[in-house]
Structures are given as structure tokens and as C-alpha cells.
Amino acid sequence: MNLNSTLKVCSNCIMDTSDPNILFNNSGICDYCINYYLNIKPHWHWDLCDNFSLVEMSEKIRIDGKNKEYDCIIGISGGLDSSYAAYVAKTKMSLRPLLFHVDTGWNTHQSVNNIKKIVDGLGVDLVTEVINWEQIKDLQVAFFKSGIPDQDLPQDAVIFSSLYKFARKNNFKHVITGSNFSNECCREPEEWGGYLGVDMKLIRDIYQQFGKSTITSLPLLDILLYKIYYQFILGMTIHKPLNFLPFEIKDVEEELKFTFGWEPFQHKHHESRFTRFFEDFWLPRRFGFDKRKAHLSSLILTNQMRREEALMRVSKPEMSEVFLQQEFEYVAKKLGLTTEQFREIFELPKKTFKNYKNKRNIILFGAYLMKKFGMEKRFFR
């Protein structure tokens, strides 16, 4: 997808007015960058190893996990962030993690191989939860028919809900994630399909209008339940250790390749075949949104990529046209649709979550409180 010449682009990163709410200062620098320089960078020394914080985190987890088979749980997709989080937890934090993978039916062969290499190389245990394919397929088709940009919400909802439900059922107090500032300090806006969490009110309304059967066996857990009940009442703690040690993508990829034979992906989120199709084809071609702008802006802000290189990268599609058309046909067939039916859905009127019942205002208020009390430093909009 070529950059639209009518879009105003930040003079510092590559975020632009395809986010309709973006703001610029007199120097043409956007509010994503300003938030990074004011609220993230002063409190995060990404190029230095924060040994004290990492050691303190490790000791707390080990103490709580004493006499247990595992002292923490880590969701793993085979992608860079979760793979490195598992590596850090076992080798640098001396923890006893259980790895947890959710198979939604969209794994690439590369992601499956990467998970196996990490599990075997670290000598840790893995639990895989296989999701009811017919039900998640029905939910994904319903979301396509809804016309909204947030097409990855069903898969994300199932993955996060599965992890937290399993953690609660098996009395895990500590969950380690690969979330980090290094390549995620610039968060894509909700207009780009970046809805803030698992909103069961939104999911139910869309499914009631466009679903065919039932989704009762899907492990769906509302964001307010795991943010408030699981964390504040039950005491489940979410840890982000990658923010406390050096994390540059190229170096980490080389370390995982050398240590485990792990294979890097062409771009962020390509471990899921569905997410790759959604972000590389559906979102830019139907809505004009390119999540790479946020991903690469994070790398610009953390000095891992030059702005000129990022602009060149997003001036053309990540994958070839032949490949993208083949993926369109593959996704249609896997979802039980003909190519023509999928094209008809592609041409449906564009809508947003605002066209459906939701509790976005409550979720936004929660995000505001987390930011106010220092629990979240990224810019949410």
C-alpha cells in the first residue's frame, strides 16, 4: 500500500492522519512521540540492564512459587516477544515456567517449529489448548460480516481468555508476558482495529446479529473480569520483564537463532496466518490502515530503525501480490466461504464498534486510571 500523499505524516516517526485523532505540535511531531518522550523514555532505560528490578521481580515470583511445580506461566505464540520472554524467564531469571499455547487453527508451520525449539531447548513443559474450530470460525465470519476493522479481536479474545482462565484454574499467581516498550511503545489507535480489550458486550452483540450457531465452548473472559477480579481481588500479577533488560530486535533474533535455531518472521505478528492476512491485506485495502506504521514508529523512537527506512518499508506491501491473493483464497476457504462470498463481504459498508453495543467508555476509563497511576505508560486512543 502506497503512502497517501494527502496524509500528514509526523516529522519524527511515521504515524499519520490515517489516525483521525492524531495531534501535532508546532514542529510537526505527533502526540505518540510526545507521549514517548515525556512518559516512557525518562522512566525506561531500554539500552541498559535494570538488574535490580529484574532480580526483585524474579525473587518475588520464586518465593510465591516455592514448593510448586511451576512458579509462573507464559503464553507463547512462537513469535519474537513471547519466545524471548520464555528464554529470559528460564535462563536470566532462573524461574520454572510453564509455557501455554492457544491453537486457534491459524498457526504457521514456522510458529509451531519455533515453539518446539524453545520448549526443547529450554527443557520446559508446554500445555496447548486447542480451540473449537467450528465455533471460532463462526465467530470470525460474524465479525467479518459486521463490517468493523477489529477482525483480530475474536482470536485475541480467545487467546488471552484461555491463558487467564487456565492460570486461575491452576492457581498461578504470576503471568509473564512478552509485552515491551522496545517494539510496542507506539500503540496503534482503536480506529485501526486496535480495540482496547475483550469486550463481551460487543462480541455478543455482533455474534447475535451475524453468527449461526453458538460460541458457548469458546473460553471468553471479559476484560473487566481479568483486570479487576483476577488481578486486584485474586492477586494475579502480570509481569513484563523485557522492559528491564536490553532488547533490540535484531540482536534478540540473532540470539534466539544461535541458541535454539529459532527462525525470525518477516514482520511483527506474522506467526499467525490470520493476523498476517488481516494486517497485510484486509486492514490496509478495505480501510486504508497500515499497522506497520505503529510497529515501525516504535523502532524509530527506540533508535532501531531510521525514519527514511521505515517510510520506504511502508511504501509497498509487506508480501507480494501473488502471495496476498493466494492468502485471500486460503482464508475464505478455511472459513467455509467461497472466494466470491468473501469478496462480497469485503465490499460491505464500513462500520465501527460504535455501530454495536459495547462498553468502550468503561474500558477507556480503566485505561485512563491505569495510566494515571503509572500502571500503563503507552498512549491509548
Q: Each residue of 9-60: pLDDT tens digit?
A: 999 999 999 999 999 999 999 999 999 999 999 988 755 555 788 999 999 9
Residue carrying the nine cell digits 482503536: 190
Q: Which DSSP symbol is given to 253? A: H
**Identity of residue 110:** Q
Residue carrying the nine cell digits 527514511: 308
pLDDT at 2: 42
Neighbours of 271 (CB within 10 A): 24
Whether the CA torsion 254, 247, 186, 220 is positive or negative: it is: positive
Residues of the chain with pLDDT under 70: 1-5, 46-50, 367-381
Whether the CA torsion 89, 246, 375, 192 is positive or negative: it is: negative
Neighbours of 152 (CB within 10 A): 24
Q: Which three cell numbers stand for residue 135?
A: 465455533
Question: Which burial class, exposed, middle or buried, applies to 177 when counting CB atoms under 10 A from its CB (0-12, 13-18, 19+)?
Answer: middle
Question: Which burial class, exposed, middle or buried, applies to 119 when counting CB atoms under 10 A from its CB (0-12, 13-18, 19+)?
Answer: middle
Q: Which residues contact 360 (CB under 8 A, 6 or more apart)?
A: 190, 195, 196, 199, 202, 353
pLDDT at 99: 98
**Identity of residue 254:** E
CA 137 from chain centre, in angstroms, equals 20
* Coil/strand/helix, residue 27: coil
Selection from 253, 272, 255 nearest residue 264 by Cα:
253
CB 249 within 8 A of CB 299: yes
333/143 Cα distance (integer angstroms): 16
CB 111 within 8 A of CB 79: yes
Our CA angle for 266, 279, 46, nearest 5°, is 60
CB 257 within 8 A of CB 196: no
CB 194 within 8 A of CB 121: no
Q: Up-side HSE of residue 364: CA atoms within 13 Å toward CB?
A: 10
CB 284 within 8 A of CB 319: no
pLDDT at 3: 44
97/234 Cα distance (integer angstroms): 20
Selection from 223, 262, 246 nearest residue 118 by Cα:
262
For the stretch 233-271, pLDDT in tens is: 889 999 999 999 999 999 999 999 999 999 999 999 999
Single pTM value for the model: 0.93
pLDDT at 136: 98
CB 30 within 8 A of CB 24: yes
Fold of 47-372: Rossmann fold (3.40.50)
**Identity of residue 102:** V
Q: Which DSSP symbol is given to 93? A: S
pLDDT at 377: 62
User: Contacts from 255-258 at CB under 8 Å and sequence distance 24+?
Assistant: 255/87, 256/80, 256/83, 256/84, 256/87, 256/118
Pairing of strands 174-176, 237-239: parallel
